[in-house]
């Protein structure tokens, strides 16, 4: 039977960095996580140490207190989120509700109000990991769509150049790019870029072909 920390999929347990300046709370937190099958790979007592550990270890999750020495949890969470290192779960006292909003703005994926139990911790951890995974997948999908759109634009431009400079029809120009990509074992995007760079727009570079 797989531990919850492995999401019940047979995958390795999630690697976690815990940042809490109060040692007793930190110890309790680490114990709860390990009991649930999570791999606590680093412990920090201040915000800067938390960032340093996150950068060094690239954990799957960071759990950190809002108020810590050297660098507060919100500022630390902001850097970790900006660098897309890992999802962050923020720990806060009930009286710090306004800080929760700041934590969300900083990129925290979930938060826990102290004091908390294991029953509170696990859903927050799973929620943060799930949200981060969804966001990462969406960002990857958007990047892929943008790349495909850019490729399409480049191929269209290269086709136009070939049609004008080589007196080809549109299907012929497309096949030329396709064949060149196959012959050179490269992408059509790369071929299109070479066509654009080498031939340019004939109307703008009348001397290039002479």
Cβ count within 10 A of residue 120: 14
The answer on pLDDT for 128 being more than 80 is yes
State residue 1's pLDDT score.
Answer: 39
Q: Which residues pair with 44 in a beta bridge?
A: 19
What is the gyration radius of the CA atoms in the chain, in angstroms? 26
Over residues 166-185, mean pLDDT: 90
Q: What is the mean pLDDT of the chain?
A: 84
Identical fold for domains 4-116 and 143-199, yes or no, is no
State residue 207's pLDDT score.
Answer: 40
Model confidence band, residue 95 (pLDDT cutoffs 50, 70, 90): low
| Domain boundaries defined on the chain | 4-116, 143-199
pLDDT in tens, 192-203: 999 999 987 545
pLDDT in tens, 17-69: 999 999 999 999 999 999 999 999 999 999 999 999 999 999 999 999 988 88
State residue 94's pLDDT score.
Answer: 66
Q: In the chain, what is the straight-line distance between the N-terminal and C-terminal CA atoms, in Å?
A: 73
The answer on pLDDT for 163 being more than 60 is yes
- Fold of domain 4-116: Rossmann fold (3.40.50)
State residue 52's pLDDT score.
Answer: 95
pLDDT in tens, 132-144: 777 877 878 888 8
pTM higher than the cut 0.85: no
The CA-atom distances, in angstroms, between 12 and each of 20, 97, 113, 188 are 25, 35, 28, 39
pLDDT above 70 covers a percentage of the chain that reads 88
114: number of CA atoms within 13 Å, CB side?
19
Could you name the CATH architecture of 143-199?
Orthogonal Bundle (1.10)
């Amino acid at each position: 039977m797989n531990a919850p920390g492995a999401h019940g999929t047979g995958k390795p347990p999630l690697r976690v960095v815990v940042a809490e300046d109060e040692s007793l709370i930190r110890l309790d937190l680490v114990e709860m996580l390990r009991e649930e099958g999570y791999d606590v790979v680093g412990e920090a007592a201040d915000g800067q140490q938390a960032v340093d550990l996150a950068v060094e270890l690239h954990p799957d999750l960071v759990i950190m207190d809002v108020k810590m020495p050297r660098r507060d949890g919100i500022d630390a969470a902001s850097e970790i989120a900006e660098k897309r290192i890992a999802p962050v779960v923020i720990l806060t006292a009930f009286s710090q509700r306004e800080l929760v909003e700041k934590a969300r703005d900083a990129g925290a994926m979930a938060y826990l109000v102290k004091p908390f139990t294991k029953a509170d911790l696990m859903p927050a951890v799973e929620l943060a990991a799930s949200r981060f995974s969804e966001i990462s997948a969406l960002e990857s999908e958007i990047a892929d769509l943008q790349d495909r759109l850019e490729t399409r634009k480049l191929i269209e431009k290269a086709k136009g150049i070939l049609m004008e400079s080589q007196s080809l029809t549109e299907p012929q120009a497309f096949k030329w790019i396709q064949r060149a990509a196959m012959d050179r074992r490269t992408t059509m995007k790369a071929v299109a870029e070479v066509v654009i760079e080498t031939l340019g727009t004939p109307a703008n570079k009348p001397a290039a072909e002479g």
